[in-house]
């Protein structure tokens, strides 16, 4: 299974959508898992365009503003329509559970699949064999959280030389050992550790802020992240407006990236006030050079380096 993580931007506008940008949503695919971070209006269409299925998924909500949740009921309804039975986990801030109950009541919607809701105000919210997710509070006009998604570092790697030295024929038996299953050759058991090298692999770390103004807590949580996806609602000149509405300018985001020493910064939640995106980006790059402005359909691929 590939160790590549694919991060696809499904919506990159601020609250009012634009012709070329839909409301907030990001899909993360890693080792067969699908995470959808926020579900703005139009998310389903972008999922179709990017060939992302409605299979088993975990939905992460940064906050309950309409531009981050309008697509949710539609997406769940389509799952019912296509009779998809795989479960969905929905993670969000306090009140997510009540919010969903009201939404389901208003639309007379009964999911025909299992829905698990987890409310979080911080700390580890999900942990499986491939990665873990932590949430942390950010500063916005309503209760909002950011998410930190980190893969577990690999501890060992298959060494074909060792397998050959033990006269294990290449093919099915190699695969079994790679998957951690002991094998038997001529009555002798061989355990996976006999063909594995101990390694100290790096992990991947992606941080998504959702809507936030400049916040020291984001710096603490995104230290050395491979990718920071940060609110960049406003152009450099609109600091006053950013403070008033509790969003960030591109400069706020770049400063966070610089202070956290992240590897790459993707600016998103882009408002129409960016009259010249080239200018916004070049100003951000003066503070943090590896900055990009995300756009709908952009996929960033991250790979673990041993
Ligand atoms: Zn928003
Ligand atoms: Zn918001």
**pLDDT tens digits, one per residue of 213-266:** 999 999 999 999 999 999 999 999 999 999 999 999 999 999 999 999 999 999
CA–CA separation, 54 vs 27, rounded Å? 11
For residue 306, is pLDDT > 70? no
* C-alpha 63 – ligand 2 centre gap (Å): 7
Ligand positioned closest to the Cα atom of 231: 1
* C-alpha 13 – ligand 1 centre gap (Å): 8
Residue among 156, 96, 89 at smallest CA distance from 127: 89
Mean per-residue pLDDT for 75-90? 97
* C-alpha 184 – ligand 2 centre gap (Å): 57
Ligand positioned closest to the Cα atom of 12: 1
* Residue tagged active-site, from 67, 211, 215, 226: 67
Q: Note the pTM of the prediction, 2 decimals.
A: 0.89
Q: CA gyration radius for the chain?
A: 22
Q: What is the pLDDT of residues 95-138, one digit of tens each?
A: 999 999 999 999 999 999 999 999 998 889 999 999 999 999 99
* C-alpha 74 – ligand 1 centre gap (Å): 18
* Percent of the chain whose pLDDT exceeds 70: 99
- More confident call, 184 vs 239: 239
Ligand positioned closest to the Cα atom of 24: 1
* C-alpha 23 – ligand 1 centre gap (Å): 8
Ligand positioned closest to the Cα atom of 141: 2
* C-alpha 122 – ligand 2 centre gap (Å): 18
161 counts as catalytic: no
Ligand positioned closest to the Cα atom of 15: 1
* C-alpha 39 – ligand 1 centre gap (Å): 11
Q: Residue 36 CA to chain centroid, in angstroms?
A: 7
* C-alpha 111 – ligand 1 centre gap (Å): 26
Name the CATH superfamily for 4-154+203-303. Ribonuclease Z/Hydroxyacylglutathione hydrolase-like (3.60.15.10)
- The confidence score (pLDDT) of residue 153 equals 84
* Percent of the chain whose pLDDT exceeds 90: 85
At 156, the pLDDT band (50, 70, 90 cuts) reads: confident
* Mean pLDDT over each residue of the chain, to the nearest integer: 95
Domain boundaries, the chain: 4-154+203-303, 156-198
For residue 277, is pLDDT > 80? yes
CA–CA separation, 249 vs 237, rounded Å? 8
Say how many CA atoms lie within 13 Å of 184 toward its Cβ.
Answer: 3
CA–CA separation, 196 vs 162, rounded Å? 8
Q: Answer yes or no: are the C-beta atoms of 283 and 251 closer than 8 Å.
A: yes
Say how many CA atoms lie within 13 Å of 134 toward its Cβ.
Answer: 17
- The confidence score (pLDDT) of residue 34 equals 97
């Amino acid at each position: 299974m590939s160790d590549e993580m694919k991060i696809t931007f499904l919506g990159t506008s601020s609250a009012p959508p634009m012709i070329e940008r839909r409301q907030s949503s990001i899909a993360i695919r890693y080792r067969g898992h699908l995470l959808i971070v926020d579900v703005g209006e139009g998310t389903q269409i972008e999922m179709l365009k990017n060939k992302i299925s409605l299979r088993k998924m975990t939905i992460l909500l940064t906050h309950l503003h309409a531009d981050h949740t309008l697509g949710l009921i539609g997406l769940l309804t389509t799952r019912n329509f296509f009779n998809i039975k795989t479960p969905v986990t929905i993670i969000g801030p306090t009140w997510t559970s009540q919010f969903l109950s009201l939404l389901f009541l208003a639309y007379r919607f009964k999911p025909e699949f299992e829905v698990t809701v987890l409310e979080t105000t911080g700390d580890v919210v999900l942990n499986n064999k491939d990665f873990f997710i932590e949430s942390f509070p950010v500063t916005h006009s309503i209760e909002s959280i950011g998410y930190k998604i980190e893969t577990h570092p690999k501890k060992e790697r298959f060494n074909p030389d060792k397998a050959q030295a033990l006269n294990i024929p290449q093919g099915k038996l190699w695969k079994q050992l790679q998957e951690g299953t002991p094998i038997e050759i001529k009555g002798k058991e061989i355990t996976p550790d006999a063909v594995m090298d101990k390694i100290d692999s790096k992990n991947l770390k992606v941080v998504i802020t959702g809507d936030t103004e400049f916040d020291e807590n984001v710096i603490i949580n995104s230290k050395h992240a491979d990718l920071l996806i940060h609110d960049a609602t406003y152009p450099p000149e609109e600091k006053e407006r950013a403070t008033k509405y509790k969003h960030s300018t591109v400069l706020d985001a770049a400063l966070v990236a610089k202070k956290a020493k992240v590897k790459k910064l993707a600016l998103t939640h882009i408002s129409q006030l960016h009259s010249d995106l080239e200018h916004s980006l070049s100003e951000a790059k003066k503070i943090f050079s590896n900055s990009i402005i995300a756009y709908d359909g952009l996929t960033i691929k991250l790979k673990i380096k041993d």
